[in-house]
């Protein structure tokens, strides 16, 4: 071997050694910061659990708003959350699925489709308070819905609609192309192929994406505060046109109080909200896993 060849071989070995060191250091740093974040989250959860768990009794779930912390409950906020949750799913699911099918199957890959796709992705990243301002002007004032459950649900539906559209398009892309071609070969029309072949196979992915989007919506307080959600509601909502409160707004209201008993109530309400969110996320994961197993089989 010539001296020049030896030099190049040495340089390659040094580069390989530095590359291994860099990858090893990155893995170590990644593990450290991951454990740090997980530790912080677990510490916060432990603190909230210790503070709020003793307050989780029957009176807390069936009680109404009260100026006395020990008598205050979350029944109006819990029912308001369920109302908003169901309405957001009812509004966003059909609109998002229809828009996703249209954009994925009917819009050609041209300048218009790229423009729509970029704007949908941008809408998915807009801060929630902006949707609150839009809902305040359009639904509350222009449409005259007032500070009602319907206005809140429409506002949150606008917020999660881009996420539902994106999940619908991604689920439709996961359908094997051979099934689509087989439907066309048997003489099915485009709509029959979508309705009878593509959509049933993509439905679990669409549903799981919608559940995740709705679970994000129920944890939002900023847009609901903007449109006028009340923090003190001494009655349970009976229709979509009633005044309302939800768990995030109730938590915000209790945290703003100086008494320590209200902080205990807020911790208990946080545990309830976390339980609802965890249930929805587990439901989405279960639907997705079952869908993947069916595809593999």
Domain ranges of the chain: 3-55, 63-296
Backbone angles phi, psi at 258, to 5 degrees: -80, -20
pLDDT confidence tier of residue 88, bands split at 50, 70 and 90: very high
pLDDT confidence tier of residue 193, bands split at 50, 70 and 90: confident
CA distance 161 to 165: 6
pLDDT confidence tier of residue 212, bands split at 50, 70 and 90: confident
DSSP string, 199-222: HHHHHHHHHHHHHHHHHHHTT--H
Neighbours of 150 (CB within 10 A): 20
pLDDT confidence tier of residue 90, bands split at 50, 70 and 90: very high
CB-CB contact of 197 with 179 (8 Å): yes
CA distance 196 to 194: 6
Per-chain mean pLDDT for the chain: 82
Q: What is the mean pLDDT of residues 160-185?
A: 87
Instruction: Considering only residues 267 and 1, tell me which one the structure prediction assigns the higher pLDDT.
Output: 267
- Percent of the chain at pLDDT above 70? 88
Q: For the domain 63-296, what is the CATH superfamily, name and number?
A: MetI-like (1.10.3720.10)
Residue 3 clears pLDDT 70, i.e. is over it: no
Residue 29 clears pLDDT 80, i.e. is over it: no
Which pLDDT value is given to residue 292? Answer: 67
Q: What is the mean pLDDT of residues 166-180?
A: 86
Which pLDDT value is given to residue 32? Answer: 78
Residue 250: which residues within 8 A CB-CB, separation 6 or more?
A: 74, 77, 231, 269
Residue 15 clears pLDDT 70, i.e. is over it: no
pLDDT confidence tier of residue 297, bands split at 50, 70 and 90: low
Which pLDDT value is given to residue 283? Answer: 83
Which pLDDT value is given to residue 286? Answer: 82
């Amino acid at each position: 071997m010539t001296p020049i060849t030896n030099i190049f071989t040495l340089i390659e070995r040094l580069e390989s050694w530095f590359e291994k060191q860099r990858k090893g250091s990155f893995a170590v740093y990644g593990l450290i910061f991951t454990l740090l974040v997980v530790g912080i989250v677990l510490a916060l959860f432990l603190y909230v659990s210790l503070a709020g768990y003793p307050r989780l009794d029957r009176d807390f779930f069936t009680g109404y708003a009260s100026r006395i912390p020990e008598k205050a409950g979350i029944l109006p906020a819990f029912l308001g959350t369920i109302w908003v949750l169901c309405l957001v799913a009812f509004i966003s699911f059909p609109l998002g699925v229809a828009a996703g099918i249209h954009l994925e199957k009917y819009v050609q890959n041209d300048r218009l489709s790229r423009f729509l796709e970029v704007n949908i992705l941008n809408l998915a990243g807009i801060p929630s308070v902006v949707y609150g301002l839009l809902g305040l002007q359009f639904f509350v004032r222009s449409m005259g819905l007032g500070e009602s459950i319907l206005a809140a649900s429409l506002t949150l539906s606008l917020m999660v609609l881009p996420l539902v559209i994106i999940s619908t398009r991604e689920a439709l892309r996961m359908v094997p192309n051979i099934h689509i071609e087989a439907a066309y070969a048997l003489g099915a029309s485009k709509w029959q192929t979508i309705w009878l072949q593509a959509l049933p196979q993509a439905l679990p992915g669409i549903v799981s994406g919608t559940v995740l989007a709705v679970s994000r919506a129920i944890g939002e307080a900023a847009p609901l505060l903007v449109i006028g959600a009340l923090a003190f509601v001494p009655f349970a909502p009976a229709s979509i046109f009633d005044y309302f409160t939800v768990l995030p707004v109730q938590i915000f209201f209790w945290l703003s109080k100086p008494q320590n008993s209200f902080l205990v109530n807020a911790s208990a309400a946080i545990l309830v909200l976390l339980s609802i969110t965890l249930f929805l996320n587990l439901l989405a994961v279960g639907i997705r896993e079952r869908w993947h197993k069916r595809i593999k089989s």
